Amino acid sequence: MSIEDLIADFSFLDDWEERYRYVIELGRELAPLSAEEHSPENKVQGCVSQVWLVTEPHAEADGPHLVFRGDSDAHIVRGLIAILLRIYSGKTPAEILAIDAKEIMAKLGLNEHLSPQRSNGLYSMVGRIQRDARAVSAAAHG
């Protein structure tokens, strides 16, 4: 599902309750992480909930692409992870770094409904994704 598809899906949801339920539903579709992947190295700092993010670089003809997997102990956060994975996973580091997550969250109508703590956690996850993209890019060009 593309970012455009996700934005279209959200545009059909009239109120915040429907969007909230949809975010939780997206989180239920996440593949579970293994016990080993729930590690301190994969834990995202800056989130109130427990969040783990696994970054897997895959070599492609046009350079590395990053595939992300994640999990949380909170249903809404699992849904936010699912949204971030749809936005970022499978892209090159340059594509990842060019994405404006705040603009996309605004188009999804999520910015104004997330608590400040949830927003901080969400952007901590985005920061982690961007940091990993920069590291893979530096390794590929270093």
* Closest residue by Cα to residue 76 from 36, 4, 125: 125
Q: Identify how many contiguous H helices and E strands the chain contains and give both numbers.
A: 6, 2
User: Which one is catalytic: 23, 26, 44, 47?
Assistant: 47
Active site residue 78: no
- State the Cα–Cα distance between residues 4 and 50, nearest whole angstrom: 29
> Rounded to 5 degrees, what angle do the CA atoms 11, 28, 92 make?
70
Q: Specify burial of residue 10 (Cβ count, 10 A radius: 0-12, 13-18, 19+).
A: middle
- As annotated, the active-site residues are 47
